[in-house]
Amino acid sequence: MRQVSILIFALFFLSSCEKETFVDYYIDNQSSSVISVDGTNIIASSDIDKTINPNEKKDVAVWSKRGKQTDFFEPTSMFGNDLIITNASGDTLAKDYKLLSNWTSDVDDQRTVANHEYILVITDADF
């Protein structure tokens, strides 16, 4: 009877374990000038105010969550419609950051942890 109780407890405990998901959004400045990134990380309720030098990649937003909730992966869930990216000349980014297809992704999905990395590569032609 004791073994059955232990087995039932173990099944409940192991079935309640949820995966931890980490998401990072990077901007990779492959343009020839410094760029400025201004906006809000909606999920963390924090301002984004970054300067990224040419040939530099910076993490502009990050979040983590326990569980399988995947609706936060879209850039608009993280940044809304107000992310402004400008170059040193004051030109605004023409590439639509709101489209997940404009971001390259790298997903490392392990048993207990999933790491999602999204990278928006910006070149001179994007302004």
The DSSP bridge pattern shows strands 20-29 and 113-122 to be: parallel
- For the chain, the average pLDDT equals 84
pLDDT of residue 30: 98
Total structural domains within the chain: 1
User: Strands (DSSP E) along the chain, which ranges?
Assistant: 20-29, 35-41, 46-52, 56-66, 84-87, 104-109, 113-122
Judge whether 8 lies within some domain: no
Confirm whether 9 is domain-assigned: no
Q: What percent of the chain is predicted at pLDDT more than 90? A: 50
How many whole angstroms separate alpha carbon 32 and alpha carbon 54? 6
The answer to whether position 53 is within a domain reads yes
Residue 107 belongs to some domain of the structure: yes
What pLDDT does 85 receive? 97
Phi and psi at residue 2, to the nearest 5°: -65, -40
In a domain, 12, yes or no: no
Assigned domain for 11 exists: no
Express each pLDDT in 65-99 by its tens digit: 776 555 556 788 889 888 999 999 999 999 999 99
Domain that holds residue 44: 18-126
